[in-house]
Amino acid sequence: MSSILTNTSAMVALQTLKGVNGSLARTQAEISTGKSVANAKDNAAVWAISKVMESDVKGFKGISDSLSLGESTVAVARKASERVTELLTEIKGKIVAAQEENVDRNKIQTDIAALRDQIASVVGAAQFNGLNLVNGTQTTVNVLASLDRDTAGNVTTSSIAVTAQDLSIGAYAANDVFNAGSGNAVVSTAADTFVMSLDNGGGTDEITFQNGANAWAAGDRISLTVAGKTVTYTVTASDVDSGNNSVPDLIAVGLKNKIDALGIADLTVDYDSASPGVLTFTNGGAVDLTVTGQFTNAGAGGLGVLDSIDVSTQAGAVAALDNIEGLIQTAIDASAAFGSVEGRIAIQAGFVSDLTDALRTGIGSLVDANMEEAAARLQALQVQQQLATQALAIANQGPQNILALFR
């Protein structure tokens, strides 16, 4: 049945043309934006996931900047500590030369003083963006390293802790802290160092920590080197608050526990609570052992003992040789610590870069348009649009044909 009021063919052709035009508009939008999901209307779930991932990419860009800054800061500190190691090694050469009787020790001391000043200059200049990791002003610096998101969507950050190293040379003050026992312990003139020789097969000697000429202060350090292994006790504020007379006892107990933890075979370290501040060393092995001690006051800095080195006398030259070894080891340990953490930061920076690229790739696979497919679809839709337009024109001619029935 034909009707001039209802043209079903035209309505079908029109709906087809509308559908083709809608698909053509979406395809053209994909081509112009490069995205198959440009907004939440296109695909709400995929769009939401992509936006969360994009925010993480932005966050990781900040992480990458933080790691670059941290790596540069640590690199400056490492180079400074390596340079300090070289300068200390040069000083050691001067000290060794001063062991000879027929030398001008005063001129050697002048050279040592110049090298010491250069070390202070290196340490003072070793800063990056105002942060100095070797001058004793810092303890631990955290470098932002990661952005962690759990399955619940909670976001936390993690950091790489960089332990600062004190290579400064402060005002060194000797203190009467060591007292020789009845055995082979040799206490320096200032009583801030000692050397103890323990004969094999039961050699015994003791060392006493005492209050000394000055009161103890938080930050004072006592280092003992036993069989080539070093332990250190740093006086705390709570130690000082317990009373100056209690500090030697706390030092003795603390150092005993640390020496015991070293696990040195055949060495026994005894502490008697009835004799506060006294440690007794017994060598039960078949090899002689040497125990050395060094006091460093709180204001001296990590290389503070360097300020007290004086090779102008034979005794001073001998004492300096023992001191310089500990200082060189301090600088080497600092260099190694900085090198290790710098390597870790570099690895993390590489990982963050790779992770950012992976996230970008994932976002692209979710929302980016397949341009080859879109181009092919555009061609097909353009043909469909032309055919649908032609079909609508034909359908609109239907009522005109009814006029022929009335002629």
What digits encode the pLDDT tens for the residues 28-68?
877 877 787 888 888 888 888 888 888 888 888 889 999 99
Q: Edge-to-edge strands of the sheet including 229-234?
A: 186-187, 193-198, 289-296, 221-226, 229-234
Query: How large is the average pLDDT for residues 376-396?
Result: 83
pLDDT band at 77 (very low <50, low <70, confident <90, very high): very high
pLDDT digits (tens, 9 = 90+) for 126-148: 999 999 999 888 888 999 998 88
Residue 83 burial by Cβ neighbours in a 10 Å radius (0-12, 13-18, 19+): middle
Position 188 scores a pLDDT of 60
Alpha-carbon distances of 385 from 48, 141, 369, 396, rounded to whole Å: 33, 66, 22, 16
Q: Does pLDDT of 244 surpass 80?
A: no
Could you read off the pLDDT of 292-314 as tens digits, one per residue? 888 888 777 888 888 878 898 88
Six token digits for residue 51? 């936006």
Entry pTM: 0.66
Which structural domains are found in the chain, ordered by start?
47-169+335-359 (1.20.1330.10), 178-298 (no CATH)
Measured CA to CA, the distance from residue 315 to residue 21 in angstroms comes to 100
Q: Is the pLDDT of residue 213 over 60?
A: no
Give whole-number Cα distances, 391 to 1, 220, 357, 398, 405, in Å.
Answer: 20, 97, 49, 11, 23
Three-class secondary structure assignment of 214-229: CCCCCCCEEEEEECCE
Average pLDDT over residues 260-289: 88
**Residue at 321: amino acid letter:** L
Residue 330: pLDDT over 80: yes
Contact status, residue 191 vs residue 178, Cβ threshold 8 Å: yes
Average pLDDT score over the chain: 85
3-state secondary structure 99-154: CCCCCCHHHHHHHHHHHHHHHHHHHHHCEECCEECCCCCCCEEEEEEEEEECCCCC
The answer on pLDDT for 348 being more than 90 is yes
CA–CA gap between residue 176 and residue 213 (Å, rounded):
6
The candidate with the shortest Cα–Cα distance to 135, out of 125, 145, 144, is 125
Residue 242 has a pLDDT of 81
Q: Is 290 exposed, middle or buried (0-12, 13-18, 19+ CB in 10 A)?
A: middle
Stretch 218-231: mean pLDDT, rounded? 84
Per-residue pLDDT band for 363 (boundaries 50, 70, 90) equals confident
